Amino acid sequence: MNDVANLTIAKAVNAGLRRALEENPKVLLMGEDIGALGGVYRVTEGLKADFGAHRVLDTPLGEAGIVGTAVGLAMRGYRPVCEIQFDGFSFPAFNQITTQLAKMRNRTSGDVTVPVTIRIPYGGVIGSVEHHSESPEAYFAHTAGLRVVTPSNAQDAYWMTQQAIACEDPVIVFEPKRRYWLKGDVDTERPTADPFTAQVVRPGEDATVVAYGPLVPVALAAAQAAEEDGRSVEVIDLRSLSPIDFDTLEDSVRRTGRLVVAHEAPTFGGLGGEIAARITERAFYSLEAPVLRVGAFHLPYPVAAVEDQYVPDLDRILDALDRSFAY
């Protein structure tokens, strides 16, 4: 591969997995249909042919078994990478993830590490059926012992995949499935920033919009639209959901005085509430308006015909900016 390649996010993840498999013989992939089929989204396509069935394992239909097996493999020195086919399928593995994987290092006072990576395609707007368009990130970010990251572009997808696999802690990588076909340049020789830090992806002076994963392109489009009205909006890609890089957020808000947090997950109980509370504590006297949140409604994910009304869009982010400027 050349130093810079133009890849979709799906192909960038594939390339990141390939490089991890090449560089460390202890890395192996596990999941339903990831071998011969290449996964539902073909993210692992070609890897079984190149690395063999002993390193790219098609598993039975049982997420609890996938993660439970990965915990044991990690304790024996391997670095398993689990694929959960769809976000809603992570719940059968929830017990293994939250009571075993997340707690093993603490339970052993640091003597045992479990470097397991769990890849979960998440989010909606793919016209799918029930249990295929969830945004369950808050469940896992709430669980101490897990690291949770989400790329929004191909560069991060390539490097974040490898950085997650190299981490000694368990890492959940939420991959924005509706952005799998979004293309971008990937520098395969220069690593992206620390995956557990936020990045300013558009500088601005009048307000800050924080988003992550699938909503970052929407936030950037909103900032572009706001510029046409004479407002300079800074956009931050959160990237890491646990830990959260509050320093970068605070620095931005102290300059702009306004903050809007946007995510696809429902607003109620979402990560936007944690961010709003922390920034209010840390930068209260810099705020010109309350921190506002934009998210989905507190309802089960709807049928495909009305999902566009459920998931936040450009207009809902612009409305939040208008409300912020109205204070």
Would you please indicate which residues are annotated as catalytic (active-site) residues? Answer: 132
**Cβ pair 8, 186 in contact under 8 A:** no
Q: How far apart are the first and last CA of the chain?
A: 51
CA-based torsion, 64, 69, 75, 80: positive or negative: negative
Among 152, 171, 297, which Cα is nearest to 238's?
152
User: Residue 262 forms beta bridges with which residues?
Assistant: 294
CA distances from 153 to 53, 156, 168, 312 (A): 30, 6, 24, 19
- Residues 158 and 13 sit within 8 Å (Cβ to Cβ): yes
Structure tokens at 204: 């601005």
The strand pair at 4-8 and 27-31 is best described as unpaired
